[in-house]
């Protein structure tokens, strides 16, 4: 990956952690109907196990450049994927114990970012819980759940506290055998951030676009259809074909985590795919968690952590992190009408379907 001045380093891209003062309008709700989307041009590629799409306004946009942005995401996948034996991350998984293993600046910055998110969330987000993920994937394919001993064994070789980074020489070593880094909860957002930064900082910037990774990771820049941002839908976690709200993304990213699509059943019980790395078992505290942030990687990481934490702890954590907002959807007390909990400066740019949801702003 190029490090010339036109391509900011990842350290510079992590501006989501900066503090800034909200504009006066942040607390005011916009009256009127939800903004509508218009005609678009879309480019899509299959990357990281899902469809990545660049959405553009019609007209003299730089479609070829948008295609190159997808190539940027492909380049991130080449070094970050843990499913490719030749990726740098896979080599680190193979050689980090006993180590030390040399890593590139990109992988170093990725691990520093993941450590920061692990600390912010008291371990609810943990990229070093790959051993647990592998255990549950294996059991899911076998149609069973792991026993307590297997979970305890996987937990013993999981956790970012076991990943030791030496900034001198960019080396990493693991504190135990069997540690595996799994970027599944944050890799898509990392790729979107890289592509967006490249589009916005090239000699002829592409200033209006919406990037998506699957249905869970989005990043918007500029404006669409005269709305001042990009209107996107928030899906109903109970009925995935329905949209419960429209959100106006304004130079911001959005990540959503939940187990409404990926899950399996065993002995009459439902087990989701999002694991709580602190217990080793699937998280089950809420239906879904959505986070809006300046960085797609941060939105993805925090949405995963908030889903793991449950509503009460997620609210506490969200309030301690500047410049983010969250939509937390607990299980309904009865019926199917949802009661989302909204934290942060979001009311002015979200429109709910009142038949499906009644939001609480805190």
H runs (alpha helix) in the chain: 10-13, 63-80, 88-95, 105-120, 130-142, 148-156, 187-201, 296-309, 311-319
The answer, yes or no, to whether residue 303 has pLDDT greater than 90, is yes
Confidence of residue 261 (pLDDT cuts 50, 70, 90): low
What average pLDDT does this structure show over 181-209?
Answer: 95
Question: b/e map of 251-285 (b: 16 or more CB within 10 Å)?
Answer: bbbbbbbbbbeeebeeeeeebbbbbbbbebbbbbb
Query: Cβ–Cβ contacts within 10 Å for residue 334, how many?
Result: 5
Cα–Cα dist 145/258, whole Å: 20
Is the confidence at residue 82, as pLDDT, over 50? yes
Where residue 259 falls among pLDDT bands split at 50, 70, 90?
Answer: confident
Banded model confidence at residue 29, pLDDT cuts 50, 70, 90:
very low
Given a cut of 70, is residue 289 above it in pLDDT? yes
Asked if residue 189 lies in contact with residue 253, where contact means CB atoms within 8 angstroms, the answer is yes
Average of per-residue pLDDT across 168-194: 95
User: Taking residues 139-162, what's their average pLDDT?
Assistant: 94
User: Is residue 251 a contact partner of residue 220, using CB atoms and an 8 Å limit?
Assistant: yes
97-109 pLDDT, tens per residue? 998 999 999 999 9
Question: Residue 52 is encoded by which pair of tokens?
Answer: 């990545």
Considering only CA atoms, give the Rg of the chain.
Answer: 20
d(Cα 358, Cα 154) in Å, to the nearest integer? 40
| Predicted pLDDT at 263 | 58
Q: What is the pLDDT of residues 115-131, one digit of tens each?
A: 999 999 999 999 999 99
Instruction: List the structure tokens of 70.
Output: 């997808």
Asked if residue 28 has pLDDT above 90, the reply is: no
Q: What is the pTM of this model?
A: 0.89
Residues 6+ apart with CB under 8 A from 52: 44, 45, 46, 70, 73, 188, 191, 192, 211, 212, 213, 214
The CA distance from 14 to 109, in Å, is 9
Tokens of 314: 């997620």
Sign of CA dihedral 77, 78, 84, 89: negative
- Mean pLDDT check: name the lowest of 13-17, 185-189, 223-227, 310-314: 13-17
Determine the Cα–Cα distance for residues 297 and 216; give it in Å rounded to an integer: 12
Contact, 218 vs 254, CB < 8 A?
yes
Instruction: Tell me what the mean pLDDT of segment 75-104 comes to.
Output: 94
Q: At 221, which helix (H) or strand (E)?
A: strand 217-221
Q: Which two tokens stand for residue 279?
A: 């217990």
**Res. 7 pLDDT band, cuts 50 70 90:** very low
pLDDT above 90 covers a percentage of the chain that reads 74
- β-pair partners for 230: 249
Tell me which of 170-179, 207-216, 264-273 is least confident. 264-273
Average pLDDT over residues 339-344: 95
Whole-number pLDDT of residue 17: 38
Question: Is 292 in contact with 250 (CB distance < 8 Å)?
Answer: no
Q: What is the mean pLDDT of residues 66-78?
A: 95
Tell me: cis bond preceding 349? Omega within 30 of 0 counts: no
pLDDT at 106: 95
Look at residue 22 and tell me whether its pLDDT is greater than 60.
no
DSSP strand pairing (341-343 vs 360-361): parallel
Q: How confident is the model at residue 264 (pLDDT cuts 50, 70, 90)?
A: low
Average pLDDT over residues 207-223: 95
The confidence score (pLDDT) of residue 199 equals 95
Of the two residues 9 and 59, the one the predictor is more confident about is 59
Q: Distance between CA atoms of 203 and 208, rounded to whole angstroms?
A: 15
Q: How does DSSP assign 163-186, residue by residue? A: EEEETTTTEEEESSTT-----TTT
Measured CA to CA, the distance from residue 121 to residue 227 in angstroms comes to 34
């Amino acid at each position: 990956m190029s490090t010339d001045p036109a391509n900011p380093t990842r350290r510079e891209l992590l501006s989501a952690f900066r503090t800034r003062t909200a504009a006066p309008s942040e607390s005011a709700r916009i009256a009127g109907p939800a903004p509508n989307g218009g005609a678009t041009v879309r480019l899509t590629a299959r990357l990281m196990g899902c469809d990545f799409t660049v959405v553009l306004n019609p007209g003299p946009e730089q479609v070829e450049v948008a295609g190159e942005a997808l190539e940027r995401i492909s380049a991130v996948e080449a070094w970050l994927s843990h499913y490719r034996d030749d990726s740098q991350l896979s080599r680190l998984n193979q050689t980090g114990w006993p180590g030390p293993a040399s890593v590139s600046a990109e992988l170093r910055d990725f691990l520093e970012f993941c450590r920061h998110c692990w600390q912010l969330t008291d371990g609810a987000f943990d990229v070093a819980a790959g051993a647990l993920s592998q255990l549950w994937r294996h059991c899911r394919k076998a149609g069973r759940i792991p026993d307590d001993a297997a979970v305890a064994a996987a937990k013993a070789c999981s956790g970012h506290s076991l990943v030791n980074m030496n900034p001198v020489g960019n080396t990493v070593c693991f504190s135990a055998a069997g540690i595996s880094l799994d970027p599944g909860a944050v890799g898509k957002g990392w790729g979107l951030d890289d592509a967006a930064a490249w589009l916005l900082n090239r000699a002829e910037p592409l200033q209006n676009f919406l990037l998506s990774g699957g249905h869970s990771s989005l990043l918007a820049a500029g404006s669409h259809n005269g709305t001042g941002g990009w209107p996107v839908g928030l899906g109903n976690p109970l009925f995935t074909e329905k949209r419960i709200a429209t959100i106006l993304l304004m130079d911001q990213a959005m990540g959503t985590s939940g187990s409404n699509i990926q899950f399996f059943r065993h002995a009459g019980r439902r087990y989701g795919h999002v694991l709580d790395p602190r217990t080793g078992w699937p998280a089950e505290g809420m239906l879904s968690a959505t986070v809006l942030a300046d960085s797609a990687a941060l939105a993805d990481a925090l949405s995963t952590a908030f889903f793991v934490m449950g509503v009460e702890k997620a609210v506490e954590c969200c309030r301690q992190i500047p410049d983010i907002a969250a939509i937390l959807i607990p299980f309904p007390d009865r019926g199917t009408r949802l009661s989302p909990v909204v934290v942060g400066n979001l009311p002015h740019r979200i429109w709910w379907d009142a038949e499906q949801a009644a939001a609480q702003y805190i």
